[in-house]
Structure 1
């Protein structure tokens, strides 16, 4: 099984990641000029969703269609996956019919097991461990607005969950400093922190994290699958709301990002997405362009020597 997978940012070299992001900007330009570009004609992406989705489904499905291919939406309710067929068996069969598989899952182990038995590229569309496709979009958005993020400081405010883990990987791959402000008991996975070393700092005070930062970002306080913890989380995270006043402590040219969906009045103040420093809508759109670049990178080469 020699297929390249994209289960985490660490599956690519730093140069490859930068190449995908720059390519995303080129593909965005082609689309804005109405240029038809269909390198993935007759290629088919299978999309397995265990969790609900708006941006991930739309961007992969629209992206494949725009690249000349097709995408098939698979939910566990409608397939044998939901009835207990072993992941390995599903992977073997699906990868004989498809050109790539994108999986959004509760358990990262499903991704790794599927990839181990797949003859085509497997893409992480979000797991309990990480969300690397979102980081491609975030990094593309920063590059478009401010140039290279290398050497800059990023502040993550809130829950040290999957998005935060991917930011820790991004700090290594894109060479920036990351300050994480999270309540006690909501720190990111120690395995990720160990790999990042001195590049990442954990603080309790959001003001300390944001001071002088070039990019400030956050996510919902209650992720999918944690709904029963909502009330407890609201109490713990209340001091971690990102407001315009908090953003004022960042660098003068700071950007604010949110991977959406946003809960206004919780992790962000009601008006924050309307702030001129917010680039959340560009960031959401860039899921489409960055993932098209990713699909082109992963899917096309397989056919050069078929």
Structure 2
């Protein structure tokens, strides 16, 4: 039976309001507390999540699959290698078929347009598990982690150091949604899209150096210099980004209680120094775990729409 109203999707942070974000984060914290007490409400009983992976993943697959199982549901893993999507089936046709058999779909792929087209023809909620443009599920985990450690992000200063990639672009959206100042330091030619920066000019500042971006920051964030699909550029990028490593010396420019985050996998000695990953600054392991809890809360939110 076709639902009476259009499903609610989560393709970017712009798909939720500030109040809805706060609800999801607080619910994620609650679900985390219940999980650690050995209590997981089976709110997803008889629900099935279809997971489509064009880009491989560790944390995305484990967190979504575990989250569904812990809440009483099931997840189906589909890669383009073993589905008709990998043999040229139109996205629109796949969306119609798959969404008639599952209750929600998560897609991790390259082109953001792929997720958008799938959502346009899906009868169930679609979640963006990552595209080359945005990574909203990771931001939910990052926001949850900061809230747990320091409270609201409103009025805080966040520094992004490194590539102006999908994570950086999602932090730009988060700056508006969470009311914080975002300072971005990228090598020339690697800054995020100018239209995105200009649209958030009241929240976002491009800085000439990592030190300028990090000065007085409450949170410092980075990511790998070569994202998936850019492996052939790795050596070249290592030379270009050599002055953009986040290490203890750079963190000394931030506030004394500043936090460091990285969405992982991290390449120690490249974008982040080896010692910083295990420093008191770094909360990357809590951040990683929170993918599980934040996505549970997100899925519950979407199921209830």
When normalised by structure 1's length, the TM-score is: 0.97
- Kindly state the Cα deviation for residue 259 of structure 1 after the two structures are TM-superposed: 0.4
Deviations 1:157-178 (A, max 9, x none): 0000100000000000000000
Which runs of 5 or more structure 2 residues have no equivalent in the other structure?
A: none
Counterpart residue number, 2:160: 156
Counterpart residue number, 2:94: 90
Counterpart residue number, 2:19: 15
Q: What secondary structure, in the 3-state scheme, does the structure 2 residue paired with 1:26 have?
A: helix
Does residue 266 (structure 1) correspond to residue 296 (structure 2)? The answer is no
Q: What secondary structure, in the 3-state scheme, does the structure 2 residue paired with 1:272 have?
A: helix
CA contact (8 A) 1:184 1:204 kept: no
- Kindly state the Cα deviation for residue 10 of structure 1 after the two structures are TM-superposed: 0.3
CA contact (8 A) 2:31 2:40 kept: no
Counterpart residue number, 1:81: 85
Select which of 200, 205, 211 maps to 1:207: 211
CA contact (8 A) 2:215 2:255 kept: yes
Does residue 49 (structure 1) correspond to residue 53 (structure 2)? The answer is yes
- Kindly state the Cα deviation for residue 92 of structure 1 after the two structures are TM-superposed: 0.4
Q: Hey, what's the Cα distance between the residues in 1 that align with 2:69 and 2:165?
A: 32
Select which of 59, 62, 80 maps to 2:66: 62
Task: Map 1:98-117 to 2 at 5 A.
Answer: 98-117=102-121
- Kindly state the Cα deviation for residue 191 of structure 1 after the two structures are TM-superposed: 2.8
Does residue 184 (structure 1) correspond to residue 188 (structure 2)? The answer is yes
Q: What secondary structure, in the 3-state scheme, does the structure 1 residue paired with 2:302 have?
A: helix
Q: What secondary structure, in the 3-state scheme, does the structure 1 residue paired with 2:229 have?
A: coil
Deviations 1:38-91 (A, max 9, x none): 111000000000011000000000000111100000000000000000000000
Give the length in aligned residue pairs.
301
Counterpart residue number, 1:35: 39
Q: Hey, what's the Cα distance between the residues in 2 that align with 1:224 and 1:279?
A: 23
Deviations 1:194-224 (A, max 9, x none): 2212210011200000000000000000000
Counterpart residue number, 2:6: 2
Q: Hey, what's the Cα distance between the residues in 1 that align with 2:208 and 2:188?
A: 8
CA contact (8 A) 1:40 1:300 kept: no
Which runs of 5 or more structure 1 residues have no equivalent in the other structure?
A: 302-306
Q: Compute the RMSD of aligned alpha carbons.
A: 0.8
